[in-house]
Amino acid sequence: MSALLGEIQKLPVYREKGRIIDLVTKNKVLLVTGETGSGKTTQIPQFLLERGEKERIACTQPRRISAVSVAERVSQEMGCELGALVGYSVRFDEKTTSQTRLKYMTDGMLLREAILDHDLTQYTTIVLDEAHERTVATDILMAVLKGILRRRDELRVVVMSATLQKGSFAEYFSQPPCLSISGRTFPVDVVYTEKPQEDYVQTAIETVLGICSDTAEGDILVFMTGEMEIEEACERIRASTRGKTAVYPLYSALPPHKQRAVFGRERGRRKVIVATNIAETSLTIEGVVYVVDTGFSKQKVYNPRTRIESIVVSPISQASAQQRAGRAGRTRPGKAYRLYTAESFAAEMEEQTPPEILRSSLCTVVLLLKMIGIDDLVRFDFMSPPAPETMMRALEQLNYLGALDDDGNLTELGRRMAEFPLDPQLSKAILSSDAYKCTDSVVTIASFLAVPSVFHRPADRKSAAEKAHRAFASKDGDHFTFLAIHREYLENRSVGDEWCRRNFLSRRVLENMLDVKRQIGSICRKQKMVFTSQPLDGSSVPKIKKALLRGFFMQVARVQKRDVYSTVKDEQRVVMHPSSGVKRESRWIVYNELVYNMKDIFIRTATEISPEWLLGVSPGYYNLSEFQESLAKRELVGIENRKRVKNKAEKLSAKSSRNRK
């Protein structure tokens, strides 16, 4: 413990302890900029606990892994069990007690707490960490906290980050004091490529192998965009270095114990960590001397015209590039290899990553704000106001879902939907399942959609994995594939590790899914829903499809030709993802998400439906007079006309029967 204390006292932030406590005591808001390695995330909340026994602190993080790993570290430093004095709260996972005084949590979880407690009265101080990432939840929290500060004179707010844009944050919070804390950094030599790289994964692997060949020591951190790229790179680096390096992946869907493994020290071997942008600022990994930056990350984008929100691989900003390079200079002078040209950095990369709120659907945000009691969205104090069209689309979609009435007021259905920490479409599908008596099945499907992908596809055994996955494919659609996996996993849970290995499935994700299902189920029971379960047969399958359609009726497509579909109403050309098990002759489908690549927009997780079901699901949305001319419109108009003729014939028949009597 004394060694740990000595380590803490060497942190740059420790020298500012007294000043930080004094500034927070005397000011409602404090801005803190702290370079990577300054110790701000772990130490400042601990300093503030010393303000008194009544101090209760929430410290938000943009990512689950950060909230959990920092809480573990701080509980260790304070010599207490995790969940006692120090705890954490992330979606579908919480470790706190009534004694918890310092809670690390995702920004989204604190926002959800504001639904039940509009003024967040259980906290005396709220710390918004990594504010520069400008997630939707952090931006909303800043605006909500400005309102709370006017009502609660005793509340204190600390906004901190590694690269806080002082000017914009200071202006937003009316010029509060700002404290800058230096980090423990060394010079970093930045190297660019001479020409653009066609295959950045291949170039990154070659760069890592070159570093291993040319230098004797120093760990390497490689930035890539996602799980598949990372796992492929790790396998190829392991094979090429033949055990001479310890290679670790790092991404948010990784099991917690594997995430923690990157922080360990290797004896006699160089460590190579291949990570997403999670390693830019949220986590500090000791020993890194070399950084390999591919120049890309996955970012959320939203098109309000087509209502399509997708994750796309995009160039990073100059600020992100600087953060990545800075990771190489923590323990000694380092080197950053940028796999793009100096001209690309200067001319093609944006200075800062645009705030997430400017490139996201606002459906969930609007629903949460309504629940918090904020009705005047036009005058809401956004730090970066979203486009009016995006806001109008969110209000329109929530109205179609029945969450808002025609005047924009929250309905009883909307209140029930907001209780689920899920997208509004998924919440609506779950609530609709009660009427169809298929709640257990729809909650199971929702639980799979709320966790990372359960499918594991190792680069060197891709064909074997795909064959194993096809064995679960359901003729009824991809949503029903989840039900098949769920059923078989429960039957084989006692030998789960072996069963998952054989079927190329992630046991961690399956256990996570079951935990999520339990928590969604408890919300359903609280809402007096009946948790019914039916065998999958000709009677129950259409009911499950109809319940899903009640939530996802805005995500329907009609076939144009084999594997090529067109979204209904907006006529967006989309392609069935190769991993989908949907029958290729399926004419109408409901889908969960669209995924972009460089050439196409792919439908992922789809199920066949009957077009006859669409006309009654949301009359406002399926107002055919507003549809573009298309095959889908002509078919739906034909269905509507036949239905009208049938209803008229039935009325005439009934009238004739009464006259005969």
> Per CATH, which fold does 372-549 belong to?
Four Helix Bundle (Hemerythrin (Met), subunit A) (1.20.120)
Q: Calculate the CA dihedral of residues 222, 227, 231, 237 and round it to 10 degrees.
A: -10
What is the fold of 2-181? Rossmann fold (3.40.50)
DSSP label at residue 88: E
List phi, psi (to 5°) of 58.
Answer: -110, 130
- Are 31 and 178 in contact by the 8 Å Cβ rule? The answer is yes
The DSSP result for 377-424, as a single string, is -TT---SSPPPHHHHHHHHHHHHHHTSB-TTSPBPHHHHHHHTSSS-H
pLDDT for the residue numbered 459: 67
- The CB density around residue 151, as the number of other CB atoms within 10 Å, is 9
Coil, strand or helix at 570: coil
pLDDT digits (tens, 9 = 90+) for 137-190: 999 999 999 999 999 999 999 999 876 566 789 999 999 999 998 876 789 999
Say how far apart CA 274 and CA 395 lie, in whole Å.
40
- Exposure of 474 in the CB half-sphere (CA atoms within 13 A): 19
Question: Could you give the C-alpha distances from 594 to 145, 302, 307, 456, in angstroms and in order?
Answer: 34, 11, 11, 20
List the one residue out of 552, 558, 584, 585 whose CA is nearest residue 572. 558
Domains 188-357 and 553-642 share a fold: no
By residue count, the chain amounts to 661
Q: Cβ distance 476 to 541 under 8 Å? A: yes
Gap between the Cα atoms of 75 and 55, Å rounded: 17
First to last CA, the chain: 95
Alpha carbon separation from 266 to 50, 217, 245, 263 (Å, rounded): 36, 11, 9, 10
The highest-level CATH class for domain 553-642 is mainly beta
Residue in 372, 416, 451 with CA at minimum distance from that of residue 93: 451
**Judging by beta carbons within 10 Å of its beta carbon (0-12, 13-18, 19+), is residue 315 exposed, middle or buried?**
middle
CA dist list (Å): 442 to 88, 308, 505, 522: 29, 23, 21, 14
How much is the pTM? 0.85
pLDDT at 31 (0 to 100): 96
Going from the C-alpha of 354 to that of each of 33, 134, 141, 358, 435, the distances in angstroms are 20, 8, 17, 7, 42
Q: Please name which of 617, 164, 134 lies closest in space to residue 402, comparing C-alpha atoms.
A: 617
* Spatial CA neighbour of 480 closest among 335, 582, 604: 582
CATH 3.90.550.10 fits 188-357, yes or no: no
Query: What is the model's pLDDT at position 598?
Result: 64
Spatial separation of the C-alpha atoms in residues 295 and 320, rounded to whole Å: 9
Mean pLDDT computed over every residue of the chain = 91
- C-beta of residue 62 within 8 angstroms of C-beta of residue 142: no
**pLDDT at residue 2 in the model:** 59
- The string of DSSP codes covering 496-546 is HHHHHHHHTB-HHHHHHHHHHHHHHHHHHHHTT-------SSTTHHHHHHH
The list of the chain residues with pLDDT below 50 reads none
Distance between CA atoms of residues 520 and 482, nearest Å: 16
Q: Where are the domains of the chain?
A: 2-181, 188-357, 372-549, 553-642
Q: Under a CB-based contact definition with an 8 Å cutoff, are residues 344 and 316 in contact?
A: no
Q: Residue 344: count other Cβ atoms within 10 Å of its Cβ.
A: 17
